[in-house]
Amino acid sequence: MFSSLLIANRGEIVCRIIKTARALGVRTIAVYSEADRDALHVRLADEAVAIGPAPASESYLDSAKILAAARQIGAEAIHPGYGFLSENAAFAEACEKAGVIFVGPPASAIRAMGLKDGAKALMEKAGVPVVPGYHGDLQDPAFLKQKAYEIGYPVLIKAVAGGGGKGMRRVDKAVEFDDALEYAKREAQNAFGDPRVLIEKFVTNPRHVEIQVFADGHGNAVHLFERDCSAQRRHQKVIEEAPAPGMTTEVRKAMGDAAVAAALAVGYVGVGTVEFIADGSGGLKADGFWFMEMNTRLQVEHPVTELVTGTDLVEWQLRAASGETLPRAQQDLTLNGHAVEVRLYAEDPDNGFLPSTGTLDLLRFPQGEGIRIDTGVEEGAAVSSFYDPMIAKVIVHGATRDAAMERLSAALAQTAVVGPRCNLAFLRKLVDHPAVRAGGFDTGLIDREIETLTGGEVSDAAIAAAVSILNGLVKEPEVSSGWSDPWSICDAFQLSGDREVGVRVVVDGVEREMRMDWRNGKPVVPTVENAEVVRIADGVVALEGGRAVKVALADSLLREAKDDSGHAAVKAPMHGKVIAVFVEEGSEVSRGDRLFIVEAMKMEHAVNAPRDGRVERVAAGEGDQVEEGAVIVVLEEMELEATG
């Protein structure tokens, strides 16, 4: 085993790798950008090296800086984590030339599986079933549109390089194809530096089932069973679990054999994931699944496999990179119980899942038997716009799927996030959704049920309890199964009789009036289940159902006058980079017309005109970094021409 390991990544995966490396007695070296100077992964490592500015292209994606850091610190090996350079064949080759061990597959395997078109052709030769579609080199838009017509709608446009749902668009009609292709190509270019795409048939009632494989450098390969990642939004995984609901011994063997064949076909070494799309109608079938792609790295969802197989996949990686043989044969691997993982993100499900930034004023995770939290942040840390907005992975294990889902539901109920908006309330609803509990869902579930999975707000009763703390009438916040008169402590101000009063409060920056009943000299608060009020450094927060709102008393002297000028300021929905502006001063637009696109965390977000109007001012241009809420375009109402 090598004695020192540089981890060329950031956040929770670095913290995860450090844990195993330390247990093996390996010295760990972290790298960090200017934005991550005080990050948790930097403090956990034995040593850390600065590698540049906040943008990933100037730090975590700069292979020369990573290798320079390895030479500077004397690292014997480099673990790329996932994302960034983890599937970069040129980086793997550069490590080899520099005499540094790359903890991952050989560059040839990364290259063979790194481009989806070539990988599918290779899998066809190896006898692995693939999804029907066009996987060729010709990228002419008209030609691709014709291929989509021949394949038959609906189709998927998919980036040839990369993964994570970026550069991917589902198209249901020919009239939607041109815009979808434009978005997919631009997003693929921004995320992977490669705009090429392929076209595939969209499978009806699709299930996303992937097989964890592992191979050593001595010609041995095994699979560690499957994970079901069918609960997705925009092709990004939301819930991952092992084993897959409804999986049979026959289908598991067929998928496992195909995955091992795929790994052996490219001379694979290390951990990898072979992803299949399955036809979920009528249950999983041995002849009803097709190869999608192979991820030549550790997966975000690897913890669920570890929990059901009793393995440490990072340890396996480090041992394989050191030249050791597989620690277990296929017949020695067994399944134990059920594990489920959800990804807690700083994003706003009620606003199109836009990424959110800000300081984590409160961050509380559950503890207990069968609960695992993988995170790279802590309370007081900032979620920036430069990187993936993941806060943590909440993972649970239970004897059965029902037990695991119950444990996950309870764990999410004990989780609290205050600061940036997050998807906690959405996750709680999703985990408790009847279709998810029954295990009979496909990749379209979230889109179909989005209205029931989003929306809602913290109740007036919980806000009223927060107001009571602001008034100093309750000394300490409490968790309760039901609020019971938080104004039970009397002060000098008392009124007799029953009356209704209005209180001006500010809830998440929005001023509003609350009507409260007073009886016998004190306010009456309605009972509310499972609410909590907590103090943070700059105020009070009401928590309920996974949602959090900051509550303050309104200051009438600071109220802003409303703008009745007829102008409309169209603002950036999040902190990010303006990558396209479609209008200029004097342009006339109709409601729904695209005004500009902001890119944040490698995802594009188009902003449309809220109403008809004329562009009075364009306040930002392509390439500008903008803050959330920054005015980008100002519209003025157009005077209607007189007719007669």
- The residues annotated with a catalytic role in the active site are 297
Which stretches of 234-321 are assigned E, i.e. beta strand?
236-242, 270-279, 289-295
Q: Say how far apart CA 506 and CA 515 lie, in whole Å.
A: 14
Q: Say how far apart CA 171 and CA 426 lie, in whole Å.
A: 26
Q: What phi-psi label fits residue 497: left (phi over 0), alpha (psi between -120 and 50 degrees) or beta?
A: left
Residue count (the chain): 644
According to DSSP, residue 375 is labeled E
C-beta of residue 160 within 8 angstroms of C-beta of residue 117: yes
227: nearest Cα among 177, 154, 302, 157 = 302
Q: Which residues contact 562 (CB under 8 A, 6 or more apart)?
A: none
C-beta of residue 242 within 8 angstroms of C-beta of residue 228: yes
Q: Say how far apart CA 615 and CA 594 lie, in whole Å.
A: 12
What are the residue ranges of helices labelled H in 322-449?
401-413, 424-431, 434-438, 445-448
Phi, psi of 413 (to 5 degrees): -65, -25
Quickly tell me which residue has 């500010």 as its tokens. 506
Q: Say how far apart CA 350 and CA 371 lie, in whole Å.
A: 28
For residue 224, count CB atoms less than 10 angstroms from its CB and return exposed for 0-12, middle for 13-18, buried for 19 or more.
buried
Quickly tell me which residue has 């008393």 as its tokens. 553
375: nearest Cα among 395, 361, 356, 391 = 391
Quickly tell me which residue has 């549109």 as its tokens. 145
Quickly tell me which residue has 């008809």 as its tokens. 612
Quickly tell me which residue has 């036809």 as its tokens. 279
